[in-house]
Amino acid sequence: MAQVALLRYFMKRPLPLVLIAVMLAGTPLLPAQTQATSASGASASEDTVVEEIIARVNNNIITRADLRKAREQLFAEAQQQQDKTAAEQQARDHEKDLLRDLIDQQLLLQKAGDLGISADTELVKRLDDLRKQMHADSMEDLEKAAQAQGISFEDFKQNMKNNILTQRVIGQEVGGHITVTNQEIQQYYDQHKAEMERPEQVRLSEILISTQKTDVVKTEKGETALPETPSPQVAAQAQVKADHVYQMLQKGGNFDDLAKKYSDGPTASLGGDLEYFKRGTLSMELESQVFDLPAGQYTKPIRTNQGFVILKVTEHQTAGVPPLKDVESQIQEQIYVTKMQPALRDYLTKLREEAYIDIKTGYLDTGASPNETKPIYTTASTTDTNSNKVKKKKKLGVF
Give residue 232's pLDDT. 86
| Residue 343 belongs to some domain of the structure | yes
- Residue 11, pLDDT score: 38
169 and 204 assigned to the same domain? no
Classify residue 326: in a domain, yes or no.
no
Q: Vertex 254, ends 249 and 258: CA angle to 5°?
A: 80
Per-residue pLDDT, 118? 94
168 and 58 in one domain?
A: yes
As a whole number of angstroms, the distance between CA 255 and CA 261 comes to 10
Given a contact cutoff of 8 angstroms between Cβ atoms, the answer to whether 352 and 369 are in contact is: yes
Which residues, including other chains, have CB under 8 Å from residue 304's CB and lie 6 or more apart? 286
Spatial CA neighbour of 335 closest among 323, 345, 327: 327
385-391, Cβ contacts within 8 angstroms, sequence gap of 24 or more:
385/38, 385/39, 385/40, 386/38, 386/40, 388/38, 388/59, 389/59, 390/56, 390/58, 390/59, 390/356
Of the residues 288, 317, 346, which one is the last residue of a structural domain? 317
Instruction: Say which DSSP state 28 is in.
Output: P
DSSP 275-337: EEEETTSS-HHHHHHHTTSPTT-BPPPEE-SSEEEEEEEEEEEPSBSPPHHHHHHHHHHHHHH
Query: Is the domain of 47 the same as that of 154?
Result: yes
Angle of helix 324-354 versus helix 153-173 axis, rounded to 10 = 100
Claim to verify: residue 307 and residue 212 sit in the same structural domain: yes
Each residue's pLDDT expressed in tens, for the chain with a length of 399 residues: 333 344 444 333 333 333 343 333 333 333 333 434 333 334 444 444 568 999 999 999 999 999 999 999 899 888 888 888 898 999 999 999 999 999 999 999 999 999 999 999 999 999 998 888 887 889 999 898 888 888 888 988 998 999 999 999 999 999 999 999 999 999 999 999 999 999 999 999 999 999 886 655 555 666 655 556 778 888 899 999 999 999 999 999 999 999 999 999 988 988 999 989 999 899 988 999 999 999 999 999 999 988 999 999 999 988 999 999 989 999 999 999 999 999 999 999 999 999 999 999 999 999 999 988 766 655 444 444 444 444 333 333 333
pLDDT at 398: 33
Specify whether the CB–CB gap between 134 and 142 falls below 8 A: yes
- Boundary (domain end) residue, out of 258, 287, 317: 317
Please give the pLDDT value at position 223. Answer: 61
CA geometry: angle 94, 1, 159, nearest 5 deg: 50
Considering the domain architecture, whether residues 311 and 354 belong to the same structural domain is answered as no
CATH number at residue 368: 1.10.4030.10
Predicted model pTM: 0.64
**Do 19 and 154 reside in the same domain of the chain?**
yes
Q: Are residues 272 and 376 in the same domain?
A: no
Residue 155 has what pLDDT?
87
* Ramachandran angles phi, psi of 62, nearest 5°: -125, 130
- The answer on 64 and 101 residing in a single domain is yes
Q: Map 186-227 to HEC letters.
A: HHHHHHCHHHHCECCEEEEEEEEEECCCCCCEECCCCCEECC
Same domain, 117 and 250: no
Question: By residue range, what is the domain housing residue 278?
Answer: 198-216+225-317
Residues 172 and 32 in one domain: yes
Do residues 164 and 72 share a domain? yes
Which residue among 287, 317, 347 closes a domain?
317
Residue 328 lies in a domain: no
306 assigned to some structural domain: yes
- Number of folded domains that form the chain: 2
In a domain, 332, yes or no: no
CA distance 258 to 11: 30
Q: Are residues 204 and 137 in the same domain?
A: no
Ordered alpha helix ranges (H), the chain: 2-12, 18-24, 39-44, 64-79, 84-95, 98-115, 120-133, 139-148, 153-173, 182-191, 193-196, 232-250, 255-262, 284-290, 324-354
| Residue 172 placed within a domain | yes
Contact 203, 251 (CB under 8 A): no
User: Would residue 190 count as lying in a domain?
Assistant: no
CATH number of the CATH domain containing 202: 3.10.50.40
330 occurs within a structural domain:
no
Classified as helix, coil or strand, 144 is helix
